[in-house]
């Protein structure tokens, strides 16, 4: 029985490892489409006082542009295998996977041990840099030693990084801490508690990706930190490097839409959504044209936001959906133009809308206000106008419904009315 259980456990490890590996045991990340907004443009003709609904689909990035990532490792005595795995893959798989989505990413490296080890409890081995060679050199210095009792001093290390990264992270950059270890942490350690560490990481806007090599979350400390920072906690699954890539490409993100449209064109969107990075997200946009809009063509842009910042291309350019709205000159227009009216008996049985059967709406527009001069020479508005629609009353019923001209603050004006329609023709 023990042998069978051992084989099952080994099979589980193999399955996890295969899921995180590509051919020949190389770490790989699933290909994710480039970030985008669909449709990329909206061009519409809209009358005054009308609305239009548009469905927007946002392809979010698997790793955001401007990613600033600091790797922090437990380098106590039991971590030799995990450290060697990262050292072997940092330049061949981990960094290339990151740069594919975030080519301007920057990196730093740090390590921690435990108090009483006779060496530095925390050390920043490489400050934030674009040099992957410098990152590789720093990670190459990691060596497993010491450790004292089982818990280590990671809370101090995470607090140190929370204080450091805001001093070097560029505007609009996305800071991450990638943390891996195999043991729980003293709480407190050198004055840092779980609560104070979480508060510091949140204040710095850092998302924590934690890779559990053994018992990192035995007391729930790692899961509390990752959950509070909108990060993710993953098991190493036999391959720390693959888990790091999986963690960076599966963090929760808050996705929304924003617009720079101004009056008389306005937009509104359905609520923000929290999804996994790399997901497709659908929004409903409502485009509105004000009742007092003047004729003309109006242009504006929409963009998606990721955790409150504009979504960008891998090169760092904001991705826009362009909008072109034409408000027609409100001259007197009948719509549909030159429509034929088909009649049938009995009334109500005709359903062929293509031939104009049933109720038809004819919108009437005025090009300009009707004005005249008062005896004192001042311009004043004439409060009436007329138009003519010819029809056979024996066959057609006509009614007049006041539209935008009769509206003030979205309510009908009581002092304006439509004349009674009478007379044949």
* Each residue's pLDDT tens digit, 385-413: 555 556 666 666 666 655 555 544 555 55
pLDDT at position 334 over 50? no
* Each residue's pLDDT tens digit, 189-241: 999 999 999 999 999 999 999 999 999 999 999 999 999 999 999 999 889 99
pLDDT at position 290 over 80? yes
* Each residue's pLDDT tens digit, 9-36: 333 332 333 233 333 233 333 455 799 9
In contact, 320 and 79? CB cutoff 8 Å: no
Q: What is the mean pLDDT of the chain?
A: 81
Which residue is listed with tokens 């020479």? 377
**What pLDDT does 375 receive?**
62
* Each residue's pLDDT tens digit, 125-149: 999 999 999 999 999 999 999 877 8
In contact, 117 and 146? CB cutoff 8 Å: yes
Which residues are CB-neighbours of 61 under 8 A, at least 6 positions away? Answer: 32, 34, 35, 101, 102, 277, 278, 306, 311, 314
* Each residue's pLDDT tens digit, 251-286: 999 999 999 999 999 999 999 999 999 999 999 999
pLDDT at position 91 over 80? yes
Which residues are CB-neighbours of 263 under 8 A, at least 6 positions away? Answer: 290
Sign of CA dihedral 236, 275, 93, 98: negative
| Angle, helix 154-164 to helix 194-203, in steps of 10 degrees | 20
In contact, 365 and 333? CB cutoff 8 Å: yes
Kindly state the average pLDDT of the residues 85-100.
96
**What pLDDT does 38 receive?**
97
**What pLDDT does 5 receive?**
29
pTM, rounded to two decimals: 0.69
In contact, 325 and 48? CB cutoff 8 Å: no
Kindly give the pairing relationship between strand 41-45 and strand 320-327.
Answer: parallel
First CA to last CA across the chain, in angstroms? 98
Structure letter (DSSP) for residue 21: B
Residue 45 β-bridge partners: 326
**What pLDDT does 316 receive?**
84
Kindly state the average pLDDT of the residues 70-97.
97
The DSSP string of 204-258 is TT-EEEEEESSSTTTTSHHHHHHHHTT-EEEE-TT-HHHHHHHHHTS-EEEEEEE
Query: Tokens for 422?
Result: 């009478």
Confidence of residue 379 (pLDDT cuts 50, 70, 90): low
The DSSP string of 59-80 is E--SS-TTEEEEEEEE-SGGGH
For residue 370, give the 3-state DSSP assignment: coil
Listed residue (96, 32, 98) closest to 61, CA to CA: 32
């Amino acid at each position: 029985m023990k042998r069978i259980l051992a084989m099952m456990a080994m099979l589980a490890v193999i399955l996890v490892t295969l899921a995180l590996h590509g051919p020949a045991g190389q770490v790989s990340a699933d290909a994710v489409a480039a970030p985008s907004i669909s449709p990329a443009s909206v061009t519409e003709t809209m009358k005054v006082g009308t609305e239009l609904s548009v469905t927007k689909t946002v392809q979010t990035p698997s790793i955001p542009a401007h990613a600033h990532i600091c790797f922090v490792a437990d380098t106590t005595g039991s971590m030799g295998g995990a450290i060697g795995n990262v050292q072997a893959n940092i330049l061949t798989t981990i960094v290339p996977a990151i740069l594919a989505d975030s080519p301007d990413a920057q990196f730093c490296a740090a390590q921690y041990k435990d108090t009483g080890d006779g060496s530095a409890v925390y050390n920043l081995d490489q400050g934030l840099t674009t040099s992957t060679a410098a990152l590789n050199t720093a990670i190459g210095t990691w060596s497993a030693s010491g450790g004292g009792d089982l818990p280590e001093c990671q809370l101090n290390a995470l607090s140190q990084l929370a204080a450091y990264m805001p001093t070097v992270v560029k505007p609009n950059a996305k800071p991450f801490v990638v943390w891996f270890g195999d043991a729980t942490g003293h709480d407190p350690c050198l004055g840092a508690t779980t609560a104070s560490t979480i508060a510091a990481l949140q204040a710095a806007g850092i998302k924590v990706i934690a890779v559990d090599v053994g018992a990192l979350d035995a007391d729930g400390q790692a899961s509390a930190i990752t959950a509070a920072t909108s990060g993710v906690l993953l098991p190493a699954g036999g391959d720390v490097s693959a888990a790091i890539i999986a963690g960076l490409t599966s963090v929760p993100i808050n996705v929304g839409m924003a617009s720079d449209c101004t009056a008389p064109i306005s937009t509104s969107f359905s609520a923000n959504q929290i999804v996994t990075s790399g997901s497709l997200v659908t929004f409903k946009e409502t485009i509105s044209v004000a009742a007092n809009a003047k004729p003309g063509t109006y242009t504006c842009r929409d963009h998606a936001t990721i955790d409150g910042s504009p979504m960008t291309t891998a090169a760092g350019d904001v991705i826009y959906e362009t909008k072109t709205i034409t408000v027609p000159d409100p001259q007197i227009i009948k719509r549909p133009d030159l429509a034929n009216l088909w009649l049938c008996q009995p009334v109500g049985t005709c359903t062929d809308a293509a031939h104009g059967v049933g109720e038809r709406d004819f919108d009437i527009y005025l090009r300009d206000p009707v004005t005249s001069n008062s005896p004192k020479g001042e311009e004043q508005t004439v409060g009436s106008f007329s138009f003519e629609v010819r029809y056979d009353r024996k066959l057609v019923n006509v009614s007049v419904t006041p539209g935008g001209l009769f509206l003030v603050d979205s309510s009908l004006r009581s002092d304006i009315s439509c004349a009674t329609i009478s007379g044949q023709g």
